[in-house]
A and B are shown apart, each in its own frame.
Chain A
Amino acid sequence: MIQMSALFRKEVVESWRNFRLMAILIVFIIIGVLSPFTALILPDILGMVMKDSGIMAEIPDSAALDSYTQFFTNMNQMGLVIFVIVFGSILTHEFSRNTLVNLVTKGLKRTNVIVVKSVFLIFVWTMGYVVSALVTYIYTLYYWDEAVDHLILSFTMTWMYGLFIISLVMFASTLFTNSFIAVLLSVVAIVIMMMMASIHPDVAEYLPQYLIGNNVGLLAGEVEPRDVLWPSVITGGVTLVLFLLAVLRFRKAPMN
């Protein structure tokens, strides 16, 4: 336990000193502010463009749903990618700089290392995501004040997908040890494979990808909560298995 808390503090201090923690928080808050802003100005911009080109059409005013649509688009595409790029090297850079060798030979348990690193990533992701979601929520409440269905479940789905990506990063890191590029590529490859698999509608309903594809559908009431039960269970299960595999594999990983 002492080892774990010391390691955790080390991670926090490290990411604070090289400003990554702050940078990711700022990016997430920017996403939180940008999403309702985009939803608010989009009708105006469209209106101007249409007036210039002489098209006459009614543009519906934006609603709370548009704000959340923007949020989920930004978060699922930009937010997650930036998070993986900024924090994906958390384990690989220890390998490439050989900074773990001394600690491990002096009695630091390997399991503690990987568990603390995973917990730290989960902690950063949860914190950033909650702040971002809250900012969007407050702006949306202030500017539109409309009720949408299943808001919390919808937010939770992207959060779960983030956990899944983190477990993927940790497992890939233990496989490729010192190459961050390999980790990045394997995460991208798996996401692309899931996208291709979800072309088939029967398969799509069970993939983690379903979670981030249906946030808005859930809000709009097109998708029922029980439809996302299976993908949630499967994502949770796969995430746990990947974390477990990462721990097992890390115990045997070569450190030279």
Chain B
Amino acid sequence: MNMDIQEYLPFLIPLFLLQLVLVATALVMIIRQQDFRYLNRMAWVIIVIILNIVGPILYFVLERR
């Protein structure tokens, strides 16, 4: 698996940064939020971190109205 990672950096860096923005924003919002409609704070943190892309989207759709 020594495929030249360097060659793929132009893809990997933007992908990583975009995901980071999604996850970071969702986490900040979760920490600031007091009442949760579904689940609780810990569960949302785990969902957002484990499921990439889908996790933050779920959070924005279900909790942010």
Q: Which residues of A contact B (CB under 8 A)?
A: 18-20, 22-23, 26-27, 29-30, 33-34, 36-37, 40-41, 44, 82, 85-86, 89, 93, 97, 139
Contact = CB atoms under 8 A, between A and B. Distances in A.
A27 B25 contact: no
B14 A33 contact: yes
Interface in B1-42: 3, 8, 10-11, 14-15, 18-19, 21-22, 25-26, 29
Contacts, number: 54
A18 B60 contact: yes
Nearest to A86: B61
B60 A19 contact: yes
Interface residues of B, number: 20
Contact of A19 (B8, B18, B29): B29
Contact of B60 (A30, A86, A93): A86
A27 B53 CA distance: 7
Contacts of B14: 29, 33
A89 B19 CA distance: 24
A117 B64 CA distance: 19
Contacts of B61: 20, 85-86, 89
A88 to B, nearest CB: 9
Nearest to B21: A26
Interface string B43-65: 00000000001001100110011
Contacts of B10: 139
B57 A30 contact: no
Q: Which of B8, B26, B61, B65 has the most CB of A within 10 A?
A: B61
Nearest to B65: A93
A33 B64 contact: no
Q: Which of B15, B21, B56, B57 has the most CB of A within 10 A?
A: B57
Given A19-B60, A29-B14, A34-B11, 15 more contacts: A19-B26, A19-B29, A20-B64, A22-B25, A23-B25, A23-B56, A26-B22, A30-B53, A33-B11, A33-B14, A37-B11, A40-B8, A86-B60, A86-B61, A97-B65
Contacts of B3: 44
A26 B57 CA distance: 10
Contact of B57 (A33, A44, A86, A97): A86
Given A85-B57, A86-B57, A37 B65 contact: no
B11 to A, nearest CB: 4
